[in-house]
Amino acid sequence: MLHLLWTCLIGLAAGLVAKLLMPGKDPGGWIITMVLGIAGSFVGTWIGRALGHYQEGQGAGFLMSVVGAVILLAAYHFLKRARA
């Protein structure tokens, strides 16, 4: 149970940093920010494994989680702009 809480807290922190780094209006409140950070961790892990930085069973660190969250926010802004 503590592992899930820790994942949510790190996800929230990574999402907050990503929102601070990306200019523009971002969606959602603290729950969306937490989900953004957790999803950014999955993206960061996938990128890290593709580049050979992580082995099977290893997860992304905080910095790669932030990078993944920034990539997701950039994709959101791109899709939002394309719709308008």
**Above 80 in pLDDT, residue 60?**
no
Could you tell me the pLDDT band of residue 52, with boundaries at 50, 70 and 90? confident
Q: Which of 34, 71, 35, 33 lies closest to 50, judged by CA?
A: 71
Name the token pair of 64: 């790669």
Hunting for tokens 């990539």 — which residue is that? 71
Interval 53-65 mean pLDDT: 82
| Burial readout 45-73 (b: 16 or more C-beta within 10 A, e: otherwise) | bebbeeeeebeeeeebbeebbbbbbbbbb
pTM: 0.85
Residue 66: per-residue pLDDT: 92
